[in-house]
Chain A
Amino acid sequence: MSEKEDQYWNEIDDYLDGSLDQQAHKAFRQRLSEENKLAKDTLFQQEMRQGIAFGSQQNLRSRLQVIHEETIESNQEAKIVPIGRQLWLRWSVAAGLLVGALGILFLLQQNPSSQELFADNYEVYSLDPTSRSGGEENPAAMALEAYQQQDYTAAIKEFDHILQNEPEQPTLQLALAISYWENGQTEQAKSAIKTLFNHPILKDQAFWYAALFALAEDNPEAAVEYLEKIPTDSGQLHTKAAKLLDTLQ
């Protein structure tokens, strides 16, 4: 019974996919005009397909959010200010140079420890909830809520559960690593961050955090290795990494 039923719905799917050959397509259309049940079920299946597609967007939206942050937000921060503000800009640059010069003088006088460098550079990875459907019942939204509330024990539990079912969620994997770190589970944090070293988009963030974790554990050599893997086209992250490398070397 189930097999026959599956066959019936598969044929409807094939029609909706456009994968029936011309003759079968024509025959199906003929049946649609004659059989009310088939016409009704085809419409129902069309709506099921839409619903599944609607409910499947979370992963893609998470990836788009990461791409947006990396390609748009970092550029907008670097945009030139309007002409009216150029005087301020000059003053700011002058002040910045002065502060920078004083900073270099200060650095020449004393070398900060690895832990101090960690403390100066470490920030919890900022993650905005990207789910716009499902509200509180959405496991990803619940996990992100826990993360933002700094309830890292709950966040770890939720992220872990989601990633077991859907391992290809790199942003959540990164948030899991940070949650482990914040929760004092440093070995798990290091393991979790390593899984992102080959990710095409998040690998630079992963190297950055791996470097900071190494600094916190007083291992500047490992930190240098990770920082050197952050390429020059990584925008602000590269700037931060280059600055930290200068200090370490």
Chain B
Amino acid sequence: MINDQKILQYLQSNRSNQQDEGLRALYQQYYSMIEQLVIRNSGEREDAADVFQDGLVALFHKTRQNEFVLTASLKTLLYAICRNLWLMKLRKKKRETPLTEVHQETVSLDAGILDILEDNDRNQLVAEGLRQLGGDCQKVLQLYYFERSRMKGIAETMGYSGEQVAKNKKSRCLRKLREWVLAQPVAKEVWG
């Protein structure tokens, strides 16, 4: 059993093999809990796998934010995230009933923690723009906005000579993406 501080340290690392260690520990320690939650509440094994993966994506993104402070155990936080995700899915299927809980501690989730999982038109449009950018630009923006890497880490990963080069690159790439997104006819509908 790896403790929360160690897992957090792994998740916040800039090295993908260390991040994977943290994710692997979360799978080993908490997957069965989430599987029980889903199966006891009208779900199948496959649903549990999806919910757990979505939950880890949201948790990973959250833990890498500057202001992130762990105010409950990772187990409780992950449970709260996955519980919300499963409730949302049940709601979509119109099968919402009071949940049978498998973990009693609770924590309130920060607003927006699940926003990056939303498959809406706005996110789709920006994601398409990101794919169109491709290459280094795509990678730099991913590192900054998804992995939340700092400029020093981005410079190291991308082989740039310093933080300022990484910062300029990020600004240029963001500008390109913004211009692409706003040039799309659908942008007006998406952003009103």
Binding site for B on A (CB under 8 A): 2, 5-6, 9-10, 13, 17-19, 44, 47-57, 59-61, 63-65, 67-68, 70-72, 132-134, 137-139, 165-166, 168, 199-201
Cβ contact within 8 Å between A64 and B127? no
Cβ contact within 8 Å between B146 and A53? yes
Cβ contact within 8 Å between B57 and A60? yes
Cβ contact within 8 Å between A51 and B171? no
Is B95's beta carbon under 8 Å from chain A? Answer: no
Binding site for A on B (CB under 8 A): 16-17, 19-21, 23-24, 27-28, 31, 49, 52-53, 56-57, 60-61, 65-67, 112, 115-119, 122-131, 134-135, 138-139, 141-142, 145-147, 167-168, 171-172, 174-175, 177-178, 181, 191
CA distance A23 to B125 in the complex (A): 35
CA distance A44 to B191 in the complex (A): 8
Given contacts A53-B61, A57-B57, A61-B57, whether A165 and B171 have CB atoms under 8 Å apart is no
**Which of chain B's residues has its CB closest to A198's CB?**
B17
Cβ contact within 8 Å between A51 and B139? no
Q: Within the complex, what minimum Cβ distance (angstroms) separates A105 from chain B? A: 40
CA distance A54 to B120 in the complex (A): 10
Cβ contact within 8 Å between A165 and B135? yes
Cβ contact within 8 Å between B116 and A54? yes
CA distance A136 to B158 in the complex (A): 29
A64: chain B residues within 8 A (beta carbon): 23, 53, 56-57
Cβ contact within 8 Å between A165 and B134? yes
Interface of A is mostly: helix
CA distance A56 to B173 in the complex (A): 15
Cβ contact within 8 Å between A51 and B125? yes
Cβ contact within 8 Å between B131 and A138? yes
Cβ contact within 8 Å between A67 and B24? yes
Cβ contact within 8 Å between A49 and B145? yes
A10: chain B residues within 8 A (beta carbon): 167, 171
**Which of chain B's residues has its CB closest to A138's CB?**
B131
B115: chain A residues within 8 A (beta carbon): 50
CA distance A200 to B127 in the complex (A): 29
Cβ contact within 8 Å between B23 and A9? no
Cβ contact within 8 Å between B130 and A61? no
Cβ contact within 8 Å between A2 and B56? no
Cβ contact within 8 Å between A50 and B31? no
Cβ contact within 8 Å between B66 and A18? yes
Q: Within the complex, what minimum Cβ distance (angstroms) separates A142 from chain B? A: 12
CB < 8 Å: which of B53, B168, B178 contacts A48? B178
Cβ contact within 8 Å between B27 and A67? yes
A2: chain B residues within 8 A (beta carbon): 175
**Which of chain A's residues has its CB closest to B143's CB?**
A56
CB < 8 Å: which of A17, A18, A54, A70 contacts B118? A54
**A-B residue pairs in contact (CB < 8 Å), sample of 5:** A6-B174, A48-B177, A50-B116, A53-B61, A168-B16
Cβ contact within 8 Å between A133 and B124? yes
Given contacts A9-B174, A55-B123, A67-B23, whether A134 and B131 have CB atoms under 8 Å apart is yes
CA distance A179 to B137 in the complex (A): 28
Q: Within the complex, what minimum Cβ distance (angstroms) separates B187 from chain A? A: 10
Cβ contact within 8 Å between B146 and A57? yes
**Which of chain A's residues has its CB closest to B118's CB?**
A54
Cβ contact within 8 Å between A52 and B177? yes
Given contacts A61-B57, A67-B20, A71-B27, whether A55 and B175 have CB atoms under 8 Å apart is no
**Which of chain B's residues has its CB closest to A139's CB?**
B131
CA distance A57 to B61 in the complex (A): 10
